[in-house]
Chains A and B, each alone.
Chain A
Amino acid sequence: MTKSLNNLPELIPISKVSDEPDWFFELRLAAFHKLSSTFIPDSSLESWRKTKFGNFSIKNYLGTENTLKVKLHHTDKSIELVSIQDINEVQKKIVQSSLQGIIDSKENQFFQLVSIAYNQSFKFLSLADSFNSTDPIIIESSFRDFSLAGFQIFFLFTGKNSKAIILHKSISPLTETLNLFNSLFVSIINDGSNIEEIQMEEFTPSTIHIRKFIVVQNKDSFFKSGFFNLGGYRGKTFYDVNLQENGSSAKLLGVASPSKREIQDIEYSLFHNNSHTNSSIKFKTVMKDKSHHIFTGNLNIPKTSKHVEASQLNHNLILDKTARAESMPKLEVFADDVKCSHGATMSEINEDQLFYLLSRGFTPSDARHLIVEGFITEIIDEFSLENSNELKDKLLRKLGE
């Protein structure tokens, strides 16, 4: 800890934005003050042991414009993204308690504090009780012209028994110097709701992306997440799911396709805070060149939770011997009545599959393409996405397949 205190950031002061509510500015100030005693995460922290950002300096991004362009597409015009100036009392309470929780956290929340303190891009999406739509709600977040930073806070609050598919596209530009996409997402999935959320990260080789997702699930809710990483120079994603109430269930799926010298690091944390809760993770990575992928699956089941089922699987397909995959399941199970499983595989293109396809007249490159396509399609097929072919093509193009 002594060593790390040496890297306390040099902070650029913050000031109130004209139409910003006072309470929000106070939260930003509290985050700012907390930052002054929070060191920039480094390898002394377990979660940051693997991912290093080289000569990237956070200071260059703090005082700059970091507003993202956030566009919403949906057939139902009653859905709107609310900015901080327009949020109602219910939404305000959710924002206050969630952000205060992060500010008060004993853990190093450096990048989340940055998102709060320097935030210029806040959106809140509420879905009414019994909202039901099979048309995806598409939210596209991209950098403003010439910006090098995007600090985002996004809240989702679903009413009871709502059903929705939400597709987030996060897009970054290709810039000469590194740009930073730093986001904090908080989702509260209410009783009986069934939410599919897809994150498509279309980052360029000049983007550092640091993301934190916090999902809180209430009684009998079902949350299905699809996380698709399409690039970025370096990235660290924390995906925390709190199965807070009885009967809540989460299915977390994802694909990453790092290439060149990219480092992508995703860390899931599942907290089974109540009984009759289920979770499953299935994350696949296809790697080439000198890329490096790190998968961590934290599972926490306290003693008081009963009838819990949890599984995690991480499959890595390594296309070049120079690519590196790491898989770390970390299970803390204190309860007795649980069923848990975890598994990880690292493999090259399967020779039997290859020979089978060659025997059917596929050329070696077509066969390889089909095997890689199949590997990621198994995850993509889990979602009712109209543009699943587009997503597949992008992932495959990224791999040069």
Chain B
Amino acid sequence: METLKIIDLKASIGDKEILKGVNLSIFSGEVHAIMGKNGSGKSTLSNIILGHPNYSVTNGDILFKGKSILSLKPDERARLGIFLSFQYPTAIPGVTVANFLRTMLKGMQGRDIPVKEFRQILKKEITTLKIEESFMGRYVNDGFSGGEKKRNEILQLSLLKPALSILDETDSGLDIDALKIVCDGINANRSPESSFLLITHYQRMLNYVVPDKVHVFMDGKIVLSGDKSLALELEEKGYDWVESKP
């Protein structure tokens, strides 16, 4: 059964239609990449999968492990095991990373996690992501560099181990070293039980996190799908090449 199945999904914000019939199937353990120009609607797709209240779905369905999630609220979708790594994670001043992570785990697991156990879980993950312990005392995303924000997103992913992770332009704003660390973090979470949807503008991230399938997104829908070689072809020929295809 597919982890995620999107069927002829149309969605709009106000009167403007953004998604114009998206079809996509991701099976357990697979990594898919959606590539497309800015403004093509790929970030909107990730927000809609999570149920962002600003968008309305006008047609089609989104199935997670075979069941429609359209009627579920964002937090209910998250608790089912859908995770979105934001392109621009929001700062929450006054809330420390440690407090945030512990409360998040408590909510997801439905139990209070003893401090000692929390520290042990955390230690393993922050080592992979080369995060210093002092990071835990800082306020969530407040004054973080681009790299720190993305590492914080992947840290949450590592702690939650969701069945489906959507990574929205996780590579943007990262230098090559930071990109490698973040990608190592993603790869460490790959397993037969977890699926990934990478949304990206460039191919460079796909050198580190190798996708099973690549889709090209254009004007609110997927116009072309292929294997990882499609990403390389796109890099070489540009998005205009897809547009000019019959």
- Residues of chain A touching chain B, judged by Cβ–Cβ distance below 8 Å, are 350, 352-353, 355-364, 366-367, 370-371, 373-378, 381
- Residues of chain B touching chain A, judged by Cβ–Cβ distance below 8 Å, are 50, 52-53, 73-75, 78-79, 83-84, 86, 89-90, 92-95, 100, 103-104, 107-108, 139-140, 156, 160
Question: What chain B residues lie within 8 Å of A352 (beta carbons)?
Answer: 90
Separation of A352 and B79 alpha carbons in the complex (Å): 19
Whether B104 and A360, one on each chain, are in contact in the complex, defined by CB atoms closer than 8 angstroms, is yes
Interface of A is mostly: helix
Whether B86 and A378, one on each chain, are in contact in the complex, defined by CB atoms closer than 8 angstroms, is no
Partner of B89, one of A356, A364, A381: A356
22 contacts between A and B (CB under 8 A): A350-B90, A353-B90, A355-B50, A355-B52, A355-B53, A358-B73, A358-B74, A358-B78, A360-B104, A361-B104, A361-B160, A364-B73, A371-B95, A373-B95, A374-B92, A374-B94, A374-B95, A374-B140, A377-B94, A377-B95, A378-B93, A378-B94
Nearest-neighbour CB distance to chain B for A246, whole angstroms, equals 32
Whether A381 and B94, one on each chain, are in contact in the complex, defined by CB atoms closer than 8 angstroms, is yes
Whether A374 and B107, one on each chain, are in contact in the complex, defined by CB atoms closer than 8 angstroms, is no
For residue B85, which residue of chain A has the nearest CB?
A359
Whether A374 and B139, one on each chain, are in contact in the complex, defined by CB atoms closer than 8 angstroms, is yes
Question: What chain B residues lie within 8 Å of A361 (beta carbons)?
Answer: 75, 78-79, 104, 107-108, 160
Whether A362 and B139, one on each chain, are in contact in the complex, defined by CB atoms closer than 8 angstroms, is no
Partner of A374, one of B73, B83, B93: B93
Q: Lowest 8 A-B CB distances belong to which pairs?
A: A374-B94, A377-B94, A378-B94, A374-B95, A358-B74, A361-B78, A358-B75, A352-B90
A sample of 14 more A-B contacts (CB under 8 A), given A357-B92, A374-B140, is A353-B90, A353-B92, A355-B50, A355-B74, A359-B50, A359-B74, A360-B107, A367-B75, A370-B95, A374-B95, A375-B94, A376-B94, A377-B94, A378-B93
Count of chain A to chain B residue pairs whose CB atoms are closer than 8 Å in the complex = 72
Separation of A366 and B92 alpha carbons in the complex (Å): 14
Nearest-neighbour CB distance to chain A for B169, whole angstroms, equals 15
Whether B75 and A373, one on each chain, are in contact in the complex, defined by CB atoms closer than 8 angstroms, is no
Separation of A350 and B95 alpha carbons in the complex (Å): 14
Separation of A363 and B52 alpha carbons in the complex (Å): 14
Partner of B75, one of A350, A353, A362, A371: A362
Whether A375 and B93, one on each chain, are in contact in the complex, defined by CB atoms closer than 8 angstroms, is yes
Whether A366 and B94, one on each chain, are in contact in the complex, defined by CB atoms closer than 8 angstroms, is no
Nearest-neighbour CB distance to chain A for B184, whole angstroms, equals 22
Whether B92 and A371, one on each chain, are in contact in the complex, defined by CB atoms closer than 8 angstroms, is yes
Whether B90 and A366, one on each chain, are in contact in the complex, defined by CB atoms closer than 8 angstroms, is no
Residue among A357, A367, A376, A381 with max Cβ neighbours from chain B (10 Å) = A357
Q: Knowing A355-B74, A360-B156, A381-B94 touch, does A366 contact B86 (C-beta < 8 A)? A: no
Question: What chain B residues lie within 8 Å of A381 (beta carbons)?
Answer: 94
Nearest-neighbour CB distance to chain A for B125, whole angstroms, equals 15
Question: What chain A residues lie within 8 Å of B100 (beta carbons)?
Answer: 370
Nearest-neighbour CB distance to chain A for B103, whole angstroms, equals 7
Question: What chain B residues lie within 8 Å of A364 (beta carbons)?
Answer: 73, 75
Whether B103 and A370, one on each chain, are in contact in the complex, defined by CB atoms closer than 8 angstroms, is yes
Q: Knowing A356-B86, A370-B103 touch, does A363 contact B92 (C-beta < 8 A)? A: no
Whether B107 and A363, one on each chain, are in contact in the complex, defined by CB atoms closer than 8 angstroms, is yes
For residue B104, which residue of chain A has the nearest CB?
A360
Question: What chain B residues lie within 8 Å of A359 (beta carbons)?
Answer: 50, 74-75, 78, 83-84, 86
Question: What chain B residues lie within 8 Å of A371 (beta carbons)?
Answer: 92, 95
Nearest-neighbour CB distance to chain A for B101, whole angstroms, equals 9
Separation of A309 and B59 alpha carbons in the complex (Å): 58
Whether B78 and A356, one on each chain, are in contact in the complex, defined by CB atoms closer than 8 angstroms, is no
Separation of A359 and B84 alpha carbons in the complex (Å): 7
Separation of A361 and B52 alpha carbons in the complex (Å): 13
Question: What chain A residues lie within 8 Å of B139 (beta carbons)?
Answer: 374, 378
Nearest-neighbour CB distance to chain A for B122, whole angstroms, equals 16
For residue B75, which residue of chain A has the nearest CB?
A358
For residue A350, which residue of chain B has the nearest CB?
B90
Separation of A357 and B100 alpha carbons in the complex (Å): 9
Nearest-neighbour CB distance to chain A for B91, whole angstroms, equals 8
Nearest-neighbour CB distance to chain A for B201, whole angstroms, equals 21
Question: What chain A residues lie within 8 Å of B73 (beta carbons)?
Answer: 358, 364
Separation of A378 and B140 alpha carbons in the complex (Å): 12
Residue among A353, A355, A371 with max Cβ neighbours from chain B (10 Å) = A355
